[in-house]
Each structure stands twice: as C-alpha cells, then as structure tokens.
Chain A
Amino acid sequence: DAGVIQSPRHEVTEMGQEVTLRCKPISGHNSLFWYRQTMMRGLELLIYFNNNVPIDDSGMPEDRFSAKMPNASFSTLKIQPSEPRDSAVYFCASSPLGPSNQPQHFGDGTRLSIL
C-alpha cells in the first residue's frame, strides 16, 4: 500500500502567485481531508469530501482557498492569490467510508512558504 501521496513536498513561492497542492488518497478510501498545521493554530481541518462530494468546507479560511475532488483518486487544494500568512504545512488524509468513523491516514504533507 503506497499510502496517501502528496505533491509537492516543498513549495516556495512569492506572494500573489497561485499555489496548487495535490493529493492521491489510499485506493479504496472514499473520505478525503485537507488539514493545515501551524505552530500557532495547530492542526486545522480545511475541508473534507465523502465520495468526492464536499461535506464541510467551513474551515476554508477565505475565498482565496478552493478544493476539488474530480474523482476518487485525486484532489487539489488551490490558493490564489497566495499570501505570507498562508505559509504552513498542508496535510491530506484519507479513510474508508462507513457508518462509523474510520481511522484517518495522513500523507507526508506539503511545506508551503510564501515570501
């Protein structure tokens, strides 16, 4: 099992640029979660999908953030335009979907630095 795969692992870009983060969930997992981690705010849920449908996007900080899941094996998180305060580690996680909550498995994260 390859686990959750995120790309890129590191991204450094200038303020105002568009940033796209990518995630491939574990095969067979139908729930996908995007988190942001900073020292100040800890682990925050941004958005999650069940069966490719966004369920809760209340954690998305602003309209500059958007997420899509066009199919069961791929999701993107886009920031446009990016700002220095968006600098953080962004994690994607996936889990099986069932009537009861299932363990979430995290990817290695994308370390984003906005200059």
Chain B
Amino acid sequence: GESVEQHPSTLSVQEGDSAVIKCTYSDSASNYFPWYKQELGKRPQLIIDIRSNVGEKKDQRIAVTLNKTAKHFSLHITETQPEDSAVYFCAASKNYGGSQGNLIFGKGTKLSVKP
C-alpha cells in the first residue's frame, strides 16, 4: 500500500544551525505534501505545504523542496531556535475520485534545538 518514509527519526542541532528532514513517498500519483509540527501534548499544526506542480516553496525560515522524479520531498529550517524543538511529520496525499483524498503520514522526526 501507500507509504511515506521519513528520516531521520531524531535530529539534534545547535541554535542557529540548519535542520533538514527528508521524506520519500511510494505512490507516484501523490500530488499534495504538507508538513506538520507537533509540540509535546499538543495537536499537529500545519507549517507549510507544497503541491506537485511546484518544486520549492519558502516561508521565512522554512522551505520545502519536492523532487517528483525521485519521489522525495524535504523540509529545511534555517537559523533554528529553541522554539523549533518539536516532532515534525511529513505527509503525502492524492486525489480520490476527483476530490479530497486522505493523508499518509511519515513516522515523525523529533527535532531538538540546543541553546
């Protein structure tokens, strides 16, 4: 079935450094790729998303890149801050019957930013 692999499972960086999280999806029909941030005990919150007709998208310190040929997409966080510490989930989705499909989530990456 459809799957999304996410790496690494844990990531520790110094404040100010960059962090990169990578995901690979199995279904070539996937066309929507959101990223969620989940702080401890809280709900997942959408931080950025990208569609298959775009190769890169940026929002301040966060950027996402998509390589459709390789079925890879990545999250890049620059100038990391302690408040970036959280679990990050990637996901992939495709249309179903011409309408909304469900999200397949990666297993998550626990990011720790050390002051």
Contacts and interface: CB of A to CB of B under 8 A. Distances in A.
Contacts, number: 61
Contacts of B99: 50, 97-99
B95 A99 contact: yes
Nearest to A41: B107
Given A45-B105, A56-B102, A97-B100, 11 more contacts: A33-B102, A33-B103, A42-B105, A43-B105, A44-B105, A45-B103, A45-B104, A101-B94, A101-B101, A106-B36, A108-B43
Interface of B: 31-32, 34, 36, 42-46, 49, 51, 89, 93-96, 98-108
A97 B45 CA distance: 19
Given A100-B32, A100-B95, A45 B102 contact: yes
A104 B43 contact: no
Contact of B108 (A42, A44, A97): A42
A95 B107 contact: no
Given A42-B108, A99-B95, A109 B43 contact: yes
A97 to B, nearest CB: 5
A97 B98 CA distance: 11
B16 to A, nearest CB: 30
